[in-house]
Structure 1
Amino acid sequence: MKVLIVDDDALIREGLKILLEIEDDFQVVGTASNGHEALEMCRKEKPELVLMDIRMPVMDGVLGTKLIKSQFREIKIVILTTFKDDEYIKEALKSGAEGYILKNQPADSIIESLRTVGKGNIVLEREVANTLSSMLKESKKATPERLNISPREFEILKLVGEGLSNREIAESLNISEGTTRNYVTGLLEKLGFRDRTQLAIFFIRNCE
């Protein structure tokens, strides 16, 4: 997987580069210090995944994500930051980011998160998922009736929006993983989305 690392801290950029290049399935095609440089690098290097910091000079990670996604929908973006800021979380995901993880995670956890996103899933670090869960509980906009789905399907959709895997959803609702997979497939068909990442983003966007 071709990766672009974006962070205004040179030490962090180099550290992440070393971390990823140790792995056989990652190739770091470049680094950037802000969102503007990241956009230019995407045009030049065509990475498959961008590991994006949030707070940077010139152009922050939220705007950088929005601009990259508007021009390169196929590029996956994972927000990597030390900040647990509710508005940043919402705005980054609204802009199309596939993941939001914190820098204080162990190195192997960051690596696995990137692999998960590479397979087409959304990744939310547990503390971030809890923050989003609180946002969703406070919202009254998205309802089963409005979406024309059953209460159980809505429950599955909510858990997908919180970043849970099929296995975690199955355990949470005491149903089989196969049944969970069938529910997710049904939701994709009913709501007209391609994958669970789009399902999660849809739910977050409709629960502001």
Structure 2
Amino acid sequence: MGIIKVMIVDDDALIRDSLQLILDMEDDFQVIGTAINGQEALTLCEERLPDIVLMDVRMPVMDGVMGTRYLREQFPEVKVVILTTFKEENYIKEALKHGASGYILKSQPAESIVETLRSVAKGSMVLEAEVASSLTAFIDDRQKADPEAFQVTAREMTVLELIGAGFSNKEIAMQLHLSEGTVRNHISALLEKLALRDRTQLAIFYLKHF
């Protein structure tokens, strides 16, 4: 994996500067720009196309949830990690629904934030432990689904389960002794059969129904 290009979006200048300082100390990260709200982030994405956008939730003009929605619609290859001090369940659900690949708290240690971004860059979906626990009601309210009803094969079900557990394509390939190309084919088949947009929605589908 080469240099990971990151954009930092937060209306607090201290947070932006602190995060940039943390990432600038890492050899595999490059901060390609900062923005103070979701609207600025969209404009900057057009110019510089980051790999990951580290997005605050509560900002003026356009908040992080709407910023995530529009950014993922316009730049589906860009991953979004929500960064916030808030553990409110609605924010988590909405951010995930709109395609966020991770959700972490500003109270996390610097090294934990860095590792989260590395994991997301590799294709994993990452939730900070405290945040994941607040999804309990969302997950426990799930309705069981029958894979056969969706014509999902046993192998595809295994891939779906590993996506739900946060594994990247490379990790799934190693676990199942498959090529990454084969894993991508299984994911494409799952997306088509389940009428979903991306692997984040696959993970949420798995958590809600299995």
1:43 to 2:46 alignment:
yes
The offset of 1:192, in angstroms, is 4.1
Conserved? CA contact 1:89–1:100, under 8 Å: yes
What is the alpha-carbon distance in structure 2 between the residues aligned to residue 70 and residue 122 of structure 1?
18
Normalised by the length of structure 2, the TM-score is 0.78
What is the alpha-carbon distance in structure 2 between the residues aligned to residue 200 and residue 154 of structure 1?
15
Residue in 1 that maps onto 2:175: 178
Judged with a 3 Å threshold, the aligned counterparts in structure 2 of structure 1 residues 54 and 187 are, in CA distance, closer, same or farther, namely same
Judged with a 3 Å threshold, the aligned counterparts in structure 2 of structure 1 residues 141 and 199 are, in CA distance, closer, same or farther, namely farther
Conserved? CA contact 2:116–2:126, under 8 Å: yes
Match of 2:135, SS? helix
What is the alpha-carbon distance in structure 1 between the residues aligned to residue 203 and residue 51 of structure 2?
25
Normalised by the length of structure 1, the TM-score is 0.79
Judged with a 3 Å threshold, the aligned counterparts in structure 2 of structure 1 residues 148 and 163 are, in CA distance, closer, same or farther, namely same
The offset of 1:158, in angstroms, is 5.2
CA offsets 1:26-49 (integer angstroms, 9 cap, x no match): 111111111111111111222111
Conserved? CA contact 1:133–1:162, under 8 Å: no
Structure 2: gaps (5+ residues): none
Candidates 22, 25, 34, aligned match of 1:22: 25
1:32 to 2:29 alignment:
no
Q: Give the aligned length.
A: 196
Residue in 2 that maps onto 1:5: 8
Candidates 90, 94, 97, aligned match of 1:91: 94
Task: Note the 1:56-205 alignment, pairs <5 A.
Answer: 56-140=59-143, 142-149=145-152, 157=160, 160-161=163-164, 163=166, 178-179=175-176, 185=183, 188=187, 190-192=189-191, 198-204=198-204
Judged with a 3 Å threshold, the aligned counterparts in structure 2 of structure 1 residues 154 and 178 are, in CA distance, closer, same or farther, namely closer
The offset of 1:131, in angstroms, is 2.9
Match of 2:124, SS? coil
User: What amino acid is aligned across from residue 128 of structure 2 in structure 1?
Assistant: E
CA offsets 1:77-120 (integer angstroms, 9 cap, x no match): 11111111111111111111111111111100100110111111
Judged with a 3 Å threshold, the aligned counterparts in structure 2 of structure 1 residues 187 and 137 are, in CA distance, closer, same or farther, namely farther
User: What amino acid is aligned across from residue 201 of structure 1 in structure 2?
Assistant: Q
Conserved? CA contact 2:156–2:190, under 8 Å: no
Conserved? CA contact 2:52–2:80, under 8 Å: yes
What is the alpha-carbon distance in structure 2 between the residues aligned to residue 143 and residue 39 of structure 1?
39
Residue in 2 that maps onto 1:173: none
What is the alpha-carbon distance in structure 2 between the residues aligned to residue 179 and residue 67 of structure 1?
35
Judged with a 3 Å threshold, the aligned counterparts in structure 2 of structure 1 residues 165 and 121 are, in CA distance, closer, same or farther, namely closer
Judged with a 3 Å threshold, the aligned counterparts in structure 2 of structure 1 residues 65 and 8 are, in CA distance, closer, same or farther, namely same
